[in-house]
Every structure is written in structure tokens, then in C-alpha cells.
Amino acid sequence: MSNWFDNIRIYHLLIDRFNGGWQVPPKSENVFCGGNLQGVIEKLDYIKDLGFNAIMLSPIFKSANYHGYHTLNFEDVDPHIGTWDDYQLLLDKAHDKGMKIICDFVPNHCWYEAPVFAESLLKNGGKHRDWFFYPKEGSDEFVSFLGYGDLPKFNLTNPEVVSFMIDKAEKLARMGVDAFRIDHALGQPHSFLKSLRESLQAIRSDIMVFGEVWAFGIGPQLAGQLYFKTDARLQEFLEQETKPFSQDDLQADYVGTLDGVLDFAYRDILLEEIRAGRGIKGNQTLRNKIADHFAKYPADFKLVLFLDNHDTDRFMFDCHDDVNLLQEAIDLTTELLRPFSFLYGTEQLMTITKTIFNAEPYADLRVRNCMDWSKSPQLKIKKTIA
């Protein structure tokens, strides 16, 4: 059975880096640059004319950082990007144009200065103490998201936390959000993810919930922060330094838990061929690998294809700045008639000069430049299929 998500064309943007009324972009530093929800509204026609019928927004809750993943509270829209009225207007305007809005939802962690975490540190034990993980009784040492000390990890096995997070997501669903991308789904119990999905689809049955399921860069020492579907998968993860750990197997574990996942395995297949110098156009080996990859999943499980995102190197960089190769990758991906997420600025050939995976502080800023509105799109994006 087909639904609206099957062949969706998603324009993925970081609100702060997209449009704040500038022509020549501000320098992209680890600060708020001024992009906002009104700026997205003003560019809806630009996005639609490129051939996209959905927008995936970076997180909107009040945050300590420009990208939105360091949540300060789950009550307010970050004032740097706008208000709840602005968000509702964006939803309404996008829907009027036949476009969907996808929310990036972050239930795994918050910023250490968030009031809900501060309450857990109170000397009387804190009413939210068990909302987080404190391994040592009587100590304020807490579990932080993948070792980032300013990001305490929520305890999503606690029914109160589950209820709290679902309530926040339900508000967005009632406003009209069409789909949810769950950040770091690998760090959340399958039971929570199932409850979240069921609750959202009880509000509107056509809401789609898909996850970021990616273990890249996470070592076995952090296995205690992750939730694998089976003990066998956990064991495979623990042995990853001596045996290959299958991204396909990991993604397939979310069948029945989520509607789909961001397809990191598809991106890996493309990169493997490019790095071997075999290219994309006319590459039957590549097509066979993709067919084998898709065959590992039920037909109704949504694999959201993408070439790059805000946490990876720009695909233009992976293509060694070969515009034709990038165009071939886009053409192939659209031809496959599956959900396709396209990172903002790719149409302007945004690239980088060195990888972001080199342990330099704030290296991800290289792939999060502000849009240059003095430039025109340089790529052809196939129009969406009605």
C-alpha cells in the first residue's frame, strides 16, 4: 500500500543557516547566524521550484546552540528562530503549497543548563533525579550523551520521561507536523520508540516516524548507552573492532519499531563505488548492490535515501568536486522512487576542503555554512511525482 511518504522529496535545512535576510552569507561560526522560521517561509517557492515537496527542519525548541540539538527547554521555540505563531504559519503556508513539514525531534538528551536537569541536581535528591542516569549513589556524576559532558542523557525507561517526551511530540503533531525524524534513535529503547510512534499515529494515522540509526564513531565502551534489539546485535557491536558491523542489520532491527530509517547503508554503497573509481552512471555492479540492499527490508519499511547530511562530509567533497558525478548520484537516487533527503546548499555545489571526521573542534561547521543567496542553483533536481 502506497502513501504520501513513498516518493517524498525532502529539502533538509538548518534553520539558523538557511535564510536570515542576508545575500552574502555570514561566516558560519559556532554561534547563531540569524536564520529563522520567517526566512524559511519566504523561500517556500524557491524550495518547491527546485522539485521538493517536503522540508525537514532542524530542531525548533529553545537551545543553547544554533543547530538546535542542545535543548534548554521543551516548551518554547528558540527565540533566535521565531515563535510558535511563526512555526504554525510555516506549517500552514507549506501545506497550502502542497508541501509537508518534517520535525527533527531530540528526546535522547538536553543541555546541562536545562531547568529539568538542574532540578535533578538539587541536594534534596531532586524531583527529576530519576529522569537521568546517576550511576553512583550520592554523586552528581551523570551519564552524558556519548561522553559529551554538557549533554545529560534522559532515562527513557522511566514512564514519566516517556510521557513527557510523547506529550511534546503530540503538540507538534496537533499543529500539523507531517513526519518526525528521531535523532540518535539508537540511544533510545525500542519500547519508547514504539510508544511514540503509536501515540503520534493515534492523532493522525498518516504521520510518519523514522529514525537516525547510526553507530559510526561510537566505540564499544559506549555500548551501555545504546539499545539493541537483540543480545546478538549487541555482541556484534562489541566485536566491531575485529569483525565488520553491519549497518544493514542494524537498520533492519527497526522494522516494526519505526516506519523507517535514514538509509546510511545506501550512502555507504555509493561511497564504496566512488572511492573505487567506478563511478555511478552505467555502473551495473552498483545497481546490483542497491537491489540486494533493498531486498533486506520489507517493502513497506521506509528507507530515506540521502547523499549527505549535517553530520557527514558534503557529497560534493566525496565526488572530488566532480559536478557531473554529483549530478549522476542525484539522478540515480531520484530514479529509485524512494524517500530522498537532500541537504540544503547542495544545489549551489556547497563543498568542503577537508573531511569533518578528523577530531578537530567544531569541524562540522564546514558542512553547515550559511546559504549564499547571491548564487543560483547549479544542479537539476528531478521534479516530484504527483
- Give 304's strand partners: 262
Nearest 5°: phi and psi at 142?
-120, 165
Of 185, 115, 192, whose CA–CA distance to 156 is shortest? 192
> Cell numbers at residue 193, please?
520508540
- What are the CA-CA distances from residue 55 to residues 61, 164, 359, 362 (Å)? 17, 26, 30, 25
For the entire predicted model, the pTM comes to: 0.97
Q: What pLDDT is attached to residue 297?
A: 98
Give the separation between CA 357 and CA 49, rounded to whole angstroms. 33
pLDDT digits (tens, 9 = 90+) for 77-107: 999 999 999 999 999 999 999 999 999 999 9
Nearest-angstrom CA–CA distance, 52 and 12: 10
d(Cα 169, Cα 196) in Å, to the nearest integer?
Answer: 8
Residue 110 to residue 142: CA distance in whole angstroms: 13
Nearest Cα to 35, choosing from 64, 60, 6?
A: 60
- The radius of gyration of the chain from alpha carbons, rounded to an integer in Å, stands at 20
Can you state the percent helix, strand and coil of the chain, rounding each to 5? 35, 10, 50
Q: What is the amino acid identity at position 267?
A: R
Nearest Cα neighbor of 253 from 233, 275, 224, 235 is: 233
Residues 212 and 264: their CA atoms lie apart, in Å, by 9
The Cα–Cα gap between 19 and 40 comes to 6
Spatial contact of 109 and 151, defined as CB atoms under 8 Å apart? yes
What is the rounded end-to-end Cα distance, in angstroms, of the chain? 16
What phi and psi, each to the nearest 5 degrees, are found at residue 212? Answer: -90, 105
Kind and range of the H or E run holding 343: strand 340-343
Tens of pLDDT, residues 130-189: 999 999 988 899 999 999 999 999 999 999 999 999 999 999 999 999 999 999 999 999
The pLDDT of residue 385 is 44
CB 17 within 8 A of CB 61: no
Q: Which helix (H) or strand (E) holds 22?
A: none
Q: Which three cell numbers stand for residue 346?
A: 547542495
3-state secondary structure 166-215: HHHHHHHHHHCCCEEEECCHHHCCHHHHHHHHHHHHHHCCCCEEEECCCC
pLDDT at 365: 97
Which stretches of the chain score pLDDT less than 50? Answer: 1, 385-386
The string of DSSP codes covering 242-285 is: TS---HHHHHHTTBTTBSEEE-HHHHHHHHHHHHTT--STT-HH
Instruction: Let me know if 59 is exposed, middle or buried by CB neighbors in 10 A (0-12, 13-18, 19+).
Output: buried
Report the pLDDT value the prediction gives residue 138, as an integer from 0 to 100. Answer: 83
Cell of 155: 532515562
Residue 1, pLDDT score = 38
Any bridge partners for residue 55, and if so which? 11, 101
Do 222 and 146 meet the contact criterion of CB atoms below 8 Å apart?
yes
Which amino acid makes up residue 190?
H
